Amino acid sequence: MNDTFLKACFGEKVEYTPVWIMRQAGRYLPQYQAMRANVDFLTLCKTPELAAEVTLQPIEILGVDAAILFSDILIPVEAMGMHLEFSDKSGPILSEPVRNKSSVDRLIIPDAEDDMPFVIEAIKILREKLRNKVPLIGFSGAPFTLATYMIEGGSSKHFIHAKKMMFQNNRLFNYLMEKLSFTIISYLSAQIKAGAQAVQIFDTWAGVLSPSDYKISVLPHVKKVISELKKEGVPIIYFVNDCAGILKEVKKSGADVIGIDWKVDMADAIKQLGKKMVVQGNLDPCALFLSKEEIEERVKDILWKGEAAKGHIFNLGHGILPETPVENAIALVEAVHKYGRRG
């Protein structure tokens, strides 16, 4: 079994630096596009055999050291009782955004086995098909990131409604964050029980907050989720986009691994997180438009800086872009394996 990724998560010695790529199963792969020609995005997420198939595609094609379940961060939000649709132009749409007490009251804390059985089933299929070739990562959105979609009713530019609730009705905001935290704990526990060997919590929008708002209104919920999940014994990765200004707080999350975006220098991030932390990241996804030689140079630079941390899992600083040439993603994985840590 290739357990390099899991060892690295726990800061143990590894033979080489493991690498996987956020959104590694997806639109940049012709094999995925072929699948999507016949089935819409949400149906794909909800059909275990198909979700498992696209999850496996990049394992062979790229040679990455971990698989990550193909799904969407809004799946548990739908299971909480909201109506979810995807528009090609504006992304996810949650009709009837959550903006008052009665709409938070109505949200249920879903039971993954009953309310999202397709996720559990996909994980079981994947563990069987992977035959321990590489570990399987489960995932969820973080409480604040899911809250923004629920309050805004979809994607947002300035997050005015979410911040207004946080600022003007902190009791209601906390009530929603608590329901989300319970949902995430239960959802990820079920994923782990079904076979997920690590979990990543995506805080895509935490970086739109001032450090003090993050510290006061968001971090306590993240800490609670992570401390509950720690009981399950698998590594917990906390990815925070636009983390540069809040790393000192993110450090306190309790996660085994901190995933960072590309807008902070790896050396600076490690300085702020401390050398006892395991880090994941952080190549700019757009760097995959460079030549293979230049990708190699950038990989070497990040690997070299990453040596200062207790452990390093290589990744992009955000999801791979649909326009990315597949051969450059392959070149990235090869470069990490060639130039990473040794023993």
Active-site residue list: 23, 27, 36, 72, 149
Binding to its own copies by residue 258, rule CB under 8 A? Answer: no
Residue selected from 163, 179, 224, 312 as contacting its own copies according to rule CB under 8 A:
163
Q: Which residue number, 38 or 90, has a Cβ lying nearer to its own copies? A: 90
Q: Which residue number, 307 or 323, has a Cβ lying nearer to its own copies? A: 323
Output the CA torsion sign for 244, 246, 247, 253. negative
From 144, 230, 154, select the one nearest 192 (Cα to Cα).
230
Residue selected from 83, 158, 231, 275 as contacting its own copies according to rule CB under 8 A:
158
Pairing mode, if any, of strands 91-95 and 83-87? Answer: antiparallel
User: For residues 264 and 308, is the Cβ–Cβ distance under 8 A?
Assistant: no
Specify the 3-state DSSP secondary structure of 325: coil
Q: Which residue number, 114 or 294, has a Cβ lying nearer to its own copies? A: 294
Binding to its own copies by residue 164, rule CB under 8 A? Answer: yes
Binding to its own copies by residue 248, rule CB under 8 A? Answer: yes
We find the least distance from the C-beta atom of residue 213 to its own copies, in angstroms, to be 7
Q: Record the tokens describing residue 13, joined without a space.
A: 């010695």
Q: Which residue number, 81 or 211, has a Cβ lying nearer to its own copies? A: 211
Specify the 3-state DSSP secondary structure of 236: strand
For residues 215, 216, 218 and 224, what is the CA-based torsion angle, rounded to 10 degrees?
90
Pairing mode, if any, of strands 198-203 and 67-68? Answer: unpaired
Binding to its own copies by residue 207, rule CB under 8 A? Answer: yes
Binding to its own copies by residue 297, rule CB under 8 A? Answer: no
Burial class (CB in 10 A: 0-12, 13-18, 19+), 131: exposed
* Binding positions for its own copies, rule: CB under 8 A: 158-160, 163-164, 167-168, 207-213, 242, 244-246, 248, 262-265, 268, 284-287, 289-290, 294, 301, 317, 321, 323
